[in-house]
């Protein structure tokens, strides 16, 4: 039995400048008392070619968690674009919102992100060195990729299959719905 059911994730301030903080309103329900905190993490994928450019933008610990419904806004600073290859700054990448309990990831919500210039001239003739202050970010909030993992929730049982299951039938719009 799962202890946490993430009921929605809404992307706030989207689209926006790439220099603005990233904001996600997260809602979840807890089914029974948990001994430890939940660890929420936001990771920006800097390049499809290498994980060494991935940046953990922030990690938040939430707890103690008792039965009930919860909602909070997870805000993180944007990535440090000087640590991303210039060819990977403009275009499509991924951002991952994950939650773990006792170092066991139980949900991963991935979004495609498109960074582009708003001015047609810059889109048609992009500079060799990206102009960060002119880029806008659009998180494709209506198409999240959700993967859930079975874990041990302090109940003394086994975690079961930990290979992950992609959720389907997610609601379109500003958020997503996941059931356990």
Residue whose entry in the numeric block shows the structure tokens 């500079």: 127
- Residue 117 falls inside a structural domain: yes
pLDDT tens profile 7-27: 999 999 999 999 999 999 999
pLDDT top residue among 154 and 179: 154
- Residue 129 falls inside a structural domain: yes
Instruction: For the chain, give the longest Cα–Cα distance.
Output: 60
Average pLDDT along the chain: 88
CATH, residue 108: 2.60.40.1490
- Residue 42 falls inside a structural domain: yes
- Residue 173 falls inside a structural domain: no
- Residue 71 falls inside a structural domain: yes
- How distant, in Å, are the alpha carbons of 44, 54, 118, 164 from that of 57? 7, 9, 25, 24
**Preceding peptide of 145 cis, ω within 30°:** no
- Residue 179 falls inside a structural domain: no
Provide the number of structural domains found in the chain: 1
pLDDT tens profile 89-113: 999 999 999 999 999 999 999 999 9
Residue 139 lies in domain: 4-166
- Residue 180 falls inside a structural domain: no
- Residue 37 falls inside a structural domain: yes
Give me the percent of the chain exceeding a pLDDT of 90.
83
């Amino acid at each position: 039995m799962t202890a946490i059911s993430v009921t929605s994730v809404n992307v706030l301030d989207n689209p926006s400048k790439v220099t603005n903080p990233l904001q996600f309103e997260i809602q979840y329900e807890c089914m029974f008392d948990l001994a430890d905190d939940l660890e929420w993490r936001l990771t920006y994928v800097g390049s499809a070619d290498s994980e060494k450019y991935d940046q953990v933008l922030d990690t938040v610990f939430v707890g103690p968690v008792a039965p009930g419904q919860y909602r909070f806004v997870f805000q993180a600073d944007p990535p440090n674009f000087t640590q991303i290859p210039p060819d990977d700054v403009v275009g499509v990448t991924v951002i991952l919102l994950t939650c773990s309990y006792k170092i066991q990831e139980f949900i991963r919500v991935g979004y495609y992100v498109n960074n582009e210039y708003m001015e047609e001239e810059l889109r048609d003739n992009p500079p060799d060195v990206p102009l960060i202050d002119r880029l806008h970010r659009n998180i494709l909030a209506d198409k999240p990729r959700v993967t859930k993992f079975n874990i041990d929730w302090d109940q003394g049982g086994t975690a079961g299959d930990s290979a992950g299951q992609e959720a389907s039938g997610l609601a379109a719009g500003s958020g997503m719905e996941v059931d356990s």
